[in-house]
Chains A and B, each alone.
Chain A
Amino acid sequence: AQSVTQLDSQVPVFEEAPVELRCNYSSSVSVYLFWYVQYPNQGLQLLLKYLSGSTLVKGINGFEAEFNKSQTSFHLRKPSVHISDTAEYFCAVRPGGSARQLTFGSGTQLTVLP
């Protein structure tokens, strides 16, 4: 079984400041890792993913994340945030193989302040 911990439920940050949203996971098998964003009253939009290869992955809207296998972490970063980045962010893992079951963290509400 897998589990995901998002260490911060709320992160307020001023516009143009950098931000890091933390995600740690636990799994006895190899996993794929994802970050999704959810805007109010909408579904989930994929920000970025780690399936294999380079541990530094770049996504949409200037976000990036680094897979650290030894620390079982997949933290999301952006060097300069905008008001429009205000949303809830979810980290998720999926075991390798044919299973499509995503296990999600509890989410981090990012609020960008003017």
Chain B
Amino acid sequence: KAGVTQTPRYLIKTRGQQVTLSCSPISGHRSVSWYQQTPGQGLQFLFEYFSETQRNKGNFPGRFSGRQFSNSRSEMNVSTLELGDSALYLCASSLGLAGGEETQYFGPGTRLLVL
């Protein structure tokens, strides 16, 4: 079974631009979560989507948004990029079981550099 895939793997943008990152979960997984990893702040939760609905959101400004499609693929968008948005963005997928006793599997990440 294929793992979580993220595209693109690397991205360079300039301040003020916007960017869209894509995540394809493991087949059959309905929950997709996004995380930002930086040397200073570590791994921080951005948001989670389940069945095309945002179920949970971390403490990030409104410039960070996301969506999920009917096939469970997810995209996240960052508008008006700032230098501090340079990070590794990780996507994780899981089945989305009601009880929560499940594992989240991570993709390889998209490394975003903002100049």
Measured CB to CB, the residues of A under 8 A from B are: 32, 34, 36, 42-46, 49, 51-52, 90, 92, 94-107
Task: Indicate if B58 sits at the interface (CB-CB under 8 A).
Answer: yes
Bound CA–CA A36/B98 (angstroms) = 23
Contact of A100 among B44, B48, B107 (CB under 8 A): B48
- B contact face: mostly helix, strand, loop, or mixed: strand
Q: Which residues of B are interface residues toward A (Cβ below 8 A)?
A: 4, 6, 31, 33, 35, 42-45, 48, 50, 55-56, 58, 90, 92, 94, 96, 98-101, 103-109
Cβ contacts under 8 Å, B45 to chain A: 101-103
Q: Which of A34, A42, A104 contacts B42 (CB 8 A)?
A: A104
Q: Report yes or no: B55 in contact with A100, Cβ–Cβ below 8 A.
A: yes
Given A42-B108, A43-B109, A45-B106, A98 and B43 contact (CB-CB distance below 8 Å): no
- A98 with B100: CB separation less than 8 A: yes
Residue of A nearest to B10 (CB): A41
Q: How far is the CB of B33 from chain A (nearest CB, A)?
A: 5
Contact B42 A107 (CB under 8 A): yes
